[in-house]
């Protein structure tokens, strides 16, 4: 698939995604593949109550999610970032704004 056709497919899937978790999964899977990633996730969380109202994830290895949650979930640097307060003010941010890529 050419990069132009891949981008067009991503945009089409993005426009079709809102509304249900099942709508987001095809887009996330295409995004994961397009970026050569091992996972792609979208989660919506009420930061004041710490309740997640929506979560969609695609992975190339389902067992990795279970292992991560078991061993590293409680130490997740994005979930416990001191910069997490920015989410309350901005709503949506890039992961690097919570935890620097380096």
**Mean of all residue pLDDT scores within the chain:** 80
**Confidence (pLDDT) at 50:** 65
- The answer on pLDDT for 71 being more than 80 is yes
pTM: 0.63
Q: Is 20 left (phi over 0), alpha (psi -120 to 50) or beta?
A: beta
70 φ/ψ angles, rounded to the nearest 5 degrees: -70, -45
CA distances from 67 to 70, 86, 92 (A): 5, 29, 27
- Taking residues 13-19, what's their average pLDDT? 86
Report the SS3 class of residue 75: helix
Q: Please, what is the end-to-end C-alpha distance for the chain in angstroms?
A: 31
More confident residue, 98 or 15: 15
- The answer on pLDDT for 86 being more than 80 is no
Q: Rounded to whole angstroms, how far apart are CA atoms 47 and 49?
A: 6
- Taking residues 43-52, what's their average pLDDT? 69
**Confidence (pLDDT) at 2:** 65
More confident residue, 72 or 39: 39
- The answer on pLDDT for 47 being more than 60 is yes
**Confidence (pLDDT) at 46:** 67
């Amino acid at each position: 698939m050419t990069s132009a056709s891949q981008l067009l497919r991503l945009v089409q899937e993005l426009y079709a995604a809102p509304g249900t978790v099942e709508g987001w999964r095809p887009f996330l899977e295409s995004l994961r593949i397009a970026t050569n990633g091992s996972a792609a996730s979208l989660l919506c969380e009420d930061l004041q109550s710490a309740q997640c109202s929506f979560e969609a994830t695609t992975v190339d290895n389902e067992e990795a999610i279970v292992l991560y949650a078991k061993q590293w979930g409680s130490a997740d640097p994005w979930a416990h970032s001191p910069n997490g307060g920015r989410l309350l003010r901005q709503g949506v941010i890039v992961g690097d704004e919570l935890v620097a890529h380096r």
